[in-house]
A and B are shown apart, each in its own frame.
Chain A
Amino acid sequence: MSPVAGASKAAQGGPHYTKKDFESDQDVRWCPGCGDYAILAAVQKTMPDLGIPRENIVFISGIGCSSRFPYYMNTYGFHTIHGRAPAIATGLKLARPELKVFVVTGDGDGLSIGGNHLLHVLRRNVDVTILLFNNRIYGLTKGQYSPTSEQGKVTKSTPLGSAERPVSPCSFALAVGASFVARVVDRNIAHMEEVLRRAARHRGAAFVEILQNCNVYNDLAWNVLYDRESKVLAELRLEHGQRLVFGPVDDRRGLVLDGVKPRVVRVKDVPESALWVHDERDRATGLVLAQLWAPDYPIPLGVMASDETVPVYEDTLLAQERKAIADRGPGDIAALLRSGETWTIK
């Protein structure tokens, strides 16, 4: 194990930060009204709670609106190239496993050009926290459909509607073996902060899909979760160990599992014991949850799966290095050069 440096020190009264300590001196350049502002504020507000010295935190991003994020955090940061942030973060963690590394990406950056890297950082279970801002559109290139855009979406590049089926980021993450998967929405700040704290404390690859509003190119894409009336039946809040129930107070709905098939029921119609109890440690049922979507089902928000038993990639790799050194001592180039077949010329 290589826990984040300074974390324990912090717990014993180390650095005491406020949100302000994590605000950089750069002017934030997102469009007025962008959902990214709320996410930035939530992340900055969450940071002090982690108890990690600011200098041990690194934000790495790719390309896109979301990827400007590192410039606004007063930590170490690296704004890299399109789609590659997970690979850059992997290299950084191999070099410096003791650092706390965040990857900030978007639906285009993470699931289109960088889909391959996202797959592998999750399956390897590198100890990084990945925040994927999903606004279902390409914003920085001014409004083309993205891999999460709905079928039929009319955009600049699909004037007659997109022919593609959207990918579900959380289903993807769970299917490739992610050890922590959660979904939040940009307009529920308290819930977002709570999940971000949990994700940041997870050891291993933690994946958080943040449903985010692009008010310029795809306004109210998540309106079903914003609108007071519609969200009552659309939002399913996940709580570990609790029954999966949602809907109006006077007419609660619940989920039951018929084998592997989820079904929506009226709570009053079934015995309480029939309702599905959420177990974060079970990644298989997490994957079932991740595939639920409105209008047939409610949209799950919160932690779908959290499994701390999955080995962390760099732990395994560095244990090999330590063992090799413990068994045979550190490398000696002079000895290596003379190993094997040699001959002497006088």
Chain B
Amino acid sequence: MSETMASAPVVAKPRRTLTRAVIRFAGDSGDGMQVTGEQFTTEAAWAGNDIATLPNFPAEIRAPAGTLFGVSSFQLQFGSQRVYTPGDQLDALVAMNPAALKVHLGDLKPGGILVVNAAAFEERNLARAGYERSPLEDPGLAEKYRLHQVDITGLTKKALADLPLNAKEKDRCRNFFALGLVSWIYTRPLEPTLDAIRKRFAKNPQFVEANIRVLKAGHAFGETAEMFGEHYGIEPAEMAPGVYRSMTGNRALAWGVLAAAQRTQLPVVFGAYPITPASDVLHELALHKRFGIRSFQAEDEIAAMASIIGAAFGGAIGVTASSGPGIALKGEAIGLAVMAELPVVIFDVQRGGPSTGLPTKTEQADLMQAMYGRNSEAPVVVLAPASPGDCFFVAYEAIRLAVKYMVPVIVLSDGYLANGSEPWLIPDPAALPDIPVTFRTEAAGFFPYLRDPATLARPWVRPGTPGLEHRIGGIEKEDVTGNISYEPENHDYMVRMRAEKVRRVAQEIPPTTINGPHAGDVLVVGWGGTYGAITAAAEEAQLGGKAVASIHLRHLNPLPPDLGQILRQYRRVLVPEINSGQLVRILRAEYLVDAVGFHRVRGMPLQTQEIHEAITQLLEARP
């Protein structure tokens, strides 16, 4: 199909079929690498591949050009088989400048494709990247990798020579030359990118023309330039039939809220304070007032949390989104929601910490904060999505559980899920579980803390209901009446009740899915965004004939009722996490199982290969 896009007919170069490829676009923050990566992802999705992506960018808005810390990159893995992760080592790297080469070359496989924008390897850029002389002059580079030095800057300029754009405007198109070239190398269709260019620059036909020309020039360059001897095809993956879209985790969280708003027909007050990497949830929900979303940018994290507690008291659904530092600020207010037993949902899009830490990088180190990060005994329900698309279902489930049990629910997403995307089979919203909401209106026999025997939920009463006027608050409540009580035995009882109510949520948890044999040598237990890497590593071990299985926990508090039984069916339990060992501690405490952890806290997703090595080591450590 790509041949139809070429401007001149040429002799077709040989095409080799691969099952998967991992590629990374890297350049300056201002080089448009995120757009390039997203656009290539769309092309691969059109071609029917399964995909996982990893955008990676600096926290600085406009980092100084050419510097190592200003490098922005976008990685994806696409394949004709199931793709679980963005991949470990790269099959291809596009480096738009020396800094990008320096930062990323170490991840390129020996023999991998290396495309560099040769024009950018001039003195100033080399110095900024800390190169004394150009690495392109090192003959070792071309020996170790399939190096393609392309004058992307010059070729872009040439393609646009006759267009009335200024030099800067022309130069800004160069990322699309790289995209066109890589699209040719992997024979991905240009149509979705052409569409996107037409939409994006609809108001400026000059820019449409320029970007399309450069994109096609890059494609044609691959086709005609002698330096490219062959190119590659990747067949469509066998995926469940249906209509797909690309989905990021933050958008999925927001849309899960919309689905719940429509199902319950209740207003949603979404109170949030801007924080990386959670702000996109606020941006997305602010767009959807038609769903009854009252999005509120609060004055601070505490006010954001407080506003949704007020909303829940008023009979609306209260939702907030933040990241670790913001969750720390919300802690006291979350405790109030525990005490007042009001349904609120808190999205924690985890990032590297402590303190400001690594705002744009991923981490899984807020599990203990979600579980225990409040004063006194303040249990909440804790859920974690496993993939970007899964965020939709988990957000919806969080709201369902919150209103059913009158309890705060924390959802632990992370920076990788938030910004990463996957091809997502669009669900039928009618098939989502129902979210029944009953507001008490009957005055006879009403007490604010008289509990439902099955769920232990207290009644939800909307102010405005005659005869049910009552007062609640953060001071300990007397059982049933809700009056202030300092009575010692009552406090002990209420502490137990609040914990028991969260435990009752276990009755909602379906049997755990075991990926692999139901008994064996090693069980790998994960949670959250490490699902892909863990599953791929376990499957690799299974292909190697090992008795290895994996499970992934979506419910972290309470834990699945069948978990203890499952853990005992394996000789060893391995818990890989992007923290210093948090779930592993909980599992050891809860089940007295000798689970071992695997921890890397680099701000990056865990790699399949390193988890596989950890499994292998554990297998070999047979006593």
A interface residues, Cβ below 8 angstroms from B: 5, 24, 26, 53-56, 58, 60, 63, 70-71, 73-81, 84, 87-96, 98-99, 116-117, 119-120, 317-318, 320-321, 324-325, 328-334, 336-338, 340-346
A-B contact count (CB 8 A): 209
Minimum Cβ distance to chain B for residue A149 (Å):
25
Residues B308 and A91 in contact, CB atoms below 8 Å apart = yes
Q: Any chain A CB within 8 A of the CB of B310? A: yes
Residues A330 and B290 in contact, CB atoms below 8 Å apart = yes
Minimum Cβ distance to chain B for residue A161 (Å):
32
Minimum Cβ distance to chain B for residue A52 (Å):
11
- With contacts A24-B471, A341-B192, A341-B246 taken as known, whether A88 is within 8 angstroms of B463 at the C-beta atoms is no
Residues A60 and B464 in contact, CB atoms below 8 Å apart = no
CA distance A88 to B243 in the complex (A): 42
A-B CB contact pairs (8 Å), 22 listed: A54-B469, A60-B310, A77-B471, A77-B473, A78-B473, A81-B306, A81-B474, A87-B298, A87-B307, A88-B307, A88-B309, A90-B310, A91-B271, A92-B311, A99-B464, A117-B299, A117-B302, A317-B296, A320-B289, A321-B289, A336-B258, A344-B242
Residues B299 and A120 in contact, CB atoms below 8 Å apart = yes
Binary per-residue interface labels of chain B (286-310) against chain A in the complex, 1 for a CB within 8 Å, 0 otherwise: 0011111010101110111011111
Residues B316 and A96 in contact, CB atoms below 8 Å apart = yes
Residues of A contacting B242 in the complex (Cβ-Cβ under 8 angstroms): 344-345
- With contacts A87-B298, A117-B303 taken as known, whether A94 is within 8 angstroms of B336 at the C-beta atoms is no
Q: Any chain A CB within 8 A of the CB of B410? A: no
* Closest chain A residue, CB of each to CB of B320: A91
CA distance A12 to B357 in the complex (A): 61
Residues of B contacting A98 in the complex (Cβ-Cβ under 8 angstroms): 464
CA distance A104 to B313 in the complex (A): 17
Residues A95 and B296 in contact, CB atoms below 8 Å apart = no
> Of the candidates A26, A95, A329, which one forms a contact with B315 in the assembled complex, judged by CB atoms under 8 Å apart?
A95
Residues B311 and A95 in contact, CB atoms below 8 Å apart = yes
Q: Any chain A CB within 8 A of the CB of B279? A: no
Minimum Cβ distance to chain A for residue B290 (Å):
4
CA distance A88 to B299 in the complex (A): 12
Tell which of B40-48, B106-114, B217-225 binds the partner. Answer: B40-48
Majority secondary structure of chain B interface residues (helix, strand, loop or mixed): mixed
> Of the candidates A24, A92, A333, A340, which one forms a contact with B310 in the assembled complex, judged by CB atoms under 8 Å apart?
A92
Residues of B contacting A342 in the complex (Cβ-Cβ under 8 angstroms): 243-245, 426
CA distance A325 to B296 in the complex (A): 18
Residues A116 and B300 in contact, CB atoms below 8 Å apart = yes
* Closest chain B residue, CB of each to CB of A29: B484
Residues B243 and A95 in contact, CB atoms below 8 Å apart = no
Binary per-residue interface labels of chain B (459-483) against chain A in the complex, 1 for a CB within 8 Å, 0 otherwise: 0001111111111111100000001
Further contacts, 15 of them, CB under 8 A, given A87-B310, A95-B315, A344-B244: A26-B484, A55-B467, A77-B472, A77-B473, A78-B473, A79-B471, A81-B332, A81-B336, A87-B302, A88-B309, A331-B261, A331-B262, A336-B258, A337-B255, A345-B242
Residues B48 and A345 in contact, CB atoms below 8 Å apart = yes
Residues B269 and A91 in contact, CB atoms below 8 Å apart = yes
Residues of B contacting A24 in the complex (Cβ-Cβ under 8 angstroms): 471
CA distance A125 to B307 in the complex (A): 15
Residues A324 and B313 in contact, CB atoms below 8 Å apart = no
Q: Any chain A CB within 8 A of the CB of B433? A: no
Residues B243 and A338 in contact, CB atoms below 8 Å apart = yes
Minimum Cβ distance to chain A for residue B321 (Å):
15
Residues of B contacting A320 in the complex (Cβ-Cβ under 8 angstroms): 289
- With contacts A84-B303, A117-B299, A338-B243 taken as known, whether A331 is within 8 angstroms of B483 at the C-beta atoms is no
* Closest chain B residue, CB of each to CB of A322: B289
> Of the candidates A73, A92, A117, which one forms a contact with B313 in the assembled complex, judged by CB atoms under 8 Å apart?
A92
Residues A333 and B429 in contact, CB atoms below 8 Å apart = yes
Residues of B contacting A324 in the complex (Cβ-Cβ under 8 angstroms): 289-290
Residues A337 and B245 in contact, CB atoms below 8 Å apart = yes
- With contacts A80-B306, A80-B309, A324-B289 taken as known, whether A94 is within 8 angstroms of B298 at the C-beta atoms is no
Residues A331 and B258 in contact, CB atoms below 8 Å apart = yes
Residues of A contacting B340 in the complex (Cβ-Cβ under 8 angstroms): 78
> Of the candidates B290, B303, B474, which one forms a contact with A79 in the assembled complex, judged by CB atoms under 8 Å apart?
B474
Task: Count chain A CB atoms within 10 A of each CB in B427, B467, B484 and give the residue with the most.
Answer: B484
Residues B483 and A76 in contact, CB atoms below 8 Å apart = no
Residues of A contacting B472 in the complex (Cβ-Cβ under 8 angstroms): 77-79
Residues A91 and B307 in contact, CB atoms below 8 Å apart = yes
Interface range for B: 35 or more
* Closest chain B residue, CB of each to CB of A332: B262
CA distance A55 to B302 in the complex (A): 28
Task: Count chain B CB atoms within 10 A of each CB in A24, A84, A325, A328 and give the residue with the most.
Answer: A84
Minimum Cβ distance to chain A for residue B23 (Å):
20
- With contacts A55-B467, A99-B463 taken as known, whether A90 is within 8 angstroms of B307 at the C-beta atoms is yes
CA distance A120 to B307 in the complex (A): 12
- With contacts A55-B464, A74-B469 taken as known, whether A95 is within 8 angstroms of B484 at the C-beta atoms is no
> Of the candidates B239, B244, B294, which one forms a contact with A95 in the assembled complex, judged by CB atoms under 8 Å apart?
B294
CA distance A99 to B310 in the complex (A): 12
Residues of A contacting B469 in the complex (Cβ-Cβ under 8 angstroms): 54-55, 74-77
Q: Any chain A CB within 8 A of the CB of B408? A: no
Residues of A contacting B332 in the complex (Cβ-Cβ under 8 angstroms): 81
Residues of B contacting A99 in the complex (Cβ-Cβ under 8 angstroms): 314, 463-464
Minimum Cβ distance to chain B for residue A235 (Å):
35
Q: Any chain A CB within 8 A of the CB of B94? A: no
> Of the candidates B290, B302, B467, which one forms a contact with A325 in the assembled complex, judged by CB atoms under 8 Å apart?
B290
Q: Any chain A CB within 8 A of the CB of B391? A: no
Q: Any chain A CB within 8 A of the CB of B240? A: yes
CA distance A96 to B192 in the complex (A): 45
Residues of A contacting B473 in the complex (Cβ-Cβ under 8 angstroms): 70-71, 77-80
Residues A96 and B471 in contact, CB atoms below 8 Å apart = no
Q: Any chain A CB within 8 A of the CB of B378? A: no
CA distance A330 to B267 in the complex (A): 12
> Of the candidates A76, A77, A94, A334, which one forms a contact with B296 in the assembled complex, judged by CB atoms under 8 Å apart?
A94
Binary per-residue interface labels of chain B (86-125) against chain A in the complex, 1 for a CB within 8 Å, 0 otherwise: 0000000000000000000000000000000000000000
Minimum Cβ distance to chain A for residue B282 (Å):
14
Per CB-CB distance, the 4 closest pairs between chain A and chain B, nearest first, are: A79-B473, A91-B310, A91-B307, A331-B291
Q: Any chain A CB within 8 A of the CB of B259? A: yes
Residues of B contacting A96 in the complex (Cβ-Cβ under 8 angstroms): 314-316, 462-464
CA distance A302 to B603 in the complex (A): 58
Residues of B contacting A93 in the complex (Cβ-Cβ under 8 angstroms): 310
> Of the candidates B259, B296, B470, B475, which one forms a contact with A90 in the assembled complex, judged by CB atoms under 8 Å apart?
B296
Residues A91 and B244 in contact, CB atoms below 8 Å apart = no
CA distance A60 to B313 in the complex (A): 11
Residues of B contacting A341 in the complex (Cβ-Cβ under 8 angstroms): 42, 192, 245-246
* Closest chain B residue, CB of each to CB of A58: B463
Residues B269 and A343 in contact, CB atoms below 8 Å apart = no
Task: Count chain A CB atoms within 10 A of each CB in B267, B302, B306, B309 and give the residue with the most.
Answer: B306
Q: Any chain A CB within 8 A of the CB of B401? A: no
* Closest chain B residue, CB of each to CB of A334: B429
